[in-house]
Amino acid sequence: MEKPEQKKTEALAAIAAAETLDALEAQRVAALGKQGWISALLKTLGAMSPEERQAQGPKIHSLREEVQSALADRKAALEQAALDARLAAETLDLSLPAPESPRGSVHPIGQVMDELAEIFADLGFSVATGPEIEDDWHNFTALNMPESHPARAMHDTFYFPDTAPNGGRMLLRTHTSPVQVRTMKAHGAPVRIIAPGRVYRSDSDATHTPMFHQVEGLVIDKGIHLGHLKWTLETFLKAFFEREDIVLRLRPSYFPFTEPSVEVDVGFAIENGRRVLGGSGDAPGHGWMELLGSGMVNRRVIEMSGLDPDVWQGFAFGVGVDRLAMLKYGMDDLRAFFDGDVRWLRHYGFSAFDQPTISGGIGATGGGARA
């Protein structure tokens, strides 16, 4: 066993000196491979006498184990060294900005709805919701539009074939006004809510889509009058458009659910061929644009909503959210709002970080339209 002992010493030295996994593998093949010297030694056992085999067998096996464990130890050491080197080389700076800008954006409708909620929350309003699949009692009758009322025909309503539990017809709500009735019925008075949401009418052109958005406002309390309505709308529109020079004009109008009813116009100027809100519409070069409907809640509506109209009075208003968004952020085709075109969304969408707040500012700065 002189020679094997000698070979073993050499092999262990070579294994310890192997600098790469490839060099180490060469050492393994030289010793333990098919043609390896340890494999050859093992083969000699077959030709030995039993006594000789008993003497040599354990020596050869322990020699093989020694070499095998030296190979395994060196392999582990080389792999650990390789890992350490990679960890040292591949540093990752988590404070760097993400290499690709985020793809998602907040739709202008969502952004404007958040702005509205923020402004009205500051005025003490909470947000109420109602079903988009309504019955004709809440959508029409309770809003003082009985079966034969001509205003019903003006709404281009989508009806369902189903009958409502209360015997009426089911429909897609044509406005957010039924939320007035539902809120008064559910919570009584006083009330101070806005109700933003989707509404539906069978209508389609550049400024009308079959689905669009409205926000309803409702205040019910004691001694509420038109002055409260005007102040609230003025405060809201100044905050929303971020201009102190917003001027409103209240015109007498008619809605079945308000009495008296007022249509609210807002003054604008023409700048660079575009309408820019602000200033009196009566000034030279200025004009008035119709913005929203409102009025003192009709006592019949208060009554049908389960409250005593001799005790409780209030005002209501309804305005198109899409229209507010178009006026504020400068889009001119409503249909594009609902096409889901990513180029449009990238241009007009807002960063998720652009949360409107009273303190930080209601106007988003991150919208593609302004960036």
Q: Do 152 and 171 touch, CB atoms closer than 8 A? A: no
Residue 269-308 contact track with ligand DAH, rule CB under 6 A, x = bound: ------------------------xxx-------------
Listed ranges 48-56, 315-323, 341-349, 363-371: which one lies at the site for ligand DAH (CB under 6 A):
315-323
Listed ranges 104-112, 224-232, 264-272, 313-321: which one lies at the site for ligand DAH (CB under 6 A):
313-321
**Residue with smaller CB distance to ligand DAH, 318 or 356:** 318
Cβ within 8 Å of residue 305, ≥6 positions away: 142, 180, 181, 184, 185
Closest CA to 266 of 245, 251, 281: 281
258 contacts ligand DAH (rule: CB under 6 A): yes
Q: Do 341 and 255 touch, CB atoms closer than 8 A? A: no
Using the Cα atoms of residue 44, residue 49, residue 52 and residue 54 in order, give the sign of their dihedral.
positive
Euclidean distance between CA atoms 221 and 219, whole angstroms? 7
Q: How far is the CB of 112 from ligand DAH (least distance, A)?
A: 17
Listed ranges 21-29, 45-53, 129-137, 311-319: which one lies at the site for ligand DAH (CB under 6 A):
311-319
Q: How far is the CB of 167 from ligand DAH (least distance, A)?
A: 24
Q: How far is the CB of 244 from ligand DAH (least distance, A)?
A: 26
Residue 173-192 contact track with ligand DAH, rule CB under 6 A, x = bound: --x-x---------------
Euclidean distance between CA atoms 5 and 261, whole angstroms? 110
**Residue with smaller CB distance to ligand DAH, 36 or 295:** 295
Q: How far is the CB of 94 from ligand DAH (least distance, A)?
A: 50
Euclidean distance between CA atoms 340 and 21, whole angstroms? 55
255 contacts ligand DAH (rule: CB under 6 A): yes
Listed ranges 145-153, 159-167, 241-249, 314-322: which one lies at the site for ligand DAH (CB under 6 A):
314-322
317 contacts ligand DAH (rule: CB under 6 A): yes
Closest CA to 292 of 146, 149, 177: 177
Euclidean distance between CA atoms 27 and 68, whole angstroms? 10
Q: Of 67, 316, 362, 364, which one interacts with ligand DAH (CB under 6 A)?
A: 316
Q: Do 347 and 368 touch, CB atoms closer than 8 A? A: yes
Q: How far is the CB of 278 from ligand DAH (least distance, A)?
A: 24
**Residue with smaller CB distance to ligand DAH, 293 or 367:** 293
Element (H, E) at 64: helix 50-89
User: At which residue do the structure tokens 């093992």 appear?
Assistant: 42
User: At which residue do the structure tokens 């077959």 appear?
Assistant: 46
Closest CA to 159 of 139, 179, 145: 139
**Residue with smaller CB distance to ligand DAH, 136 or 216:** 216
Indicate the SS3 state at residue 125. Answer: coil
Q: How far is the CB of 198 from ligand DAH (least distance, A)?
A: 12
Beta pairing partners, 134? 171
**Residue with smaller CB distance to ligand DAH, 216 or 322:** 216
Q: Of 130, 178, 197, 318, which one interacts with ligand DAH (CB under 6 A)?
A: 318
What is 128-168 written as a DSSP string? ----SEEEHHHHTGGGT--TT-HHHHTT---EEEEEPTTSS
Q: How many residues bind ligand DAH (CB under 6 A)?
A: 11
Q: How far is the CB of 357 from ligand DAH (least distance, A)?
A: 27
For the packed helices 50-89 and 37-44, what is the interaxial angle rounded to 10 degrees?
Answer: 160
**Residue with smaller CB distance to ligand DAH, 197 or 293:** 293
- Which tokens go with 367? 């919208």
207-226: contacts with ligand DAH (CB under 6 A): 216
The contact set with ligand DAH (CB under 6 A) reads 175, 177, 216, 255, 258, 293-295, 316-318
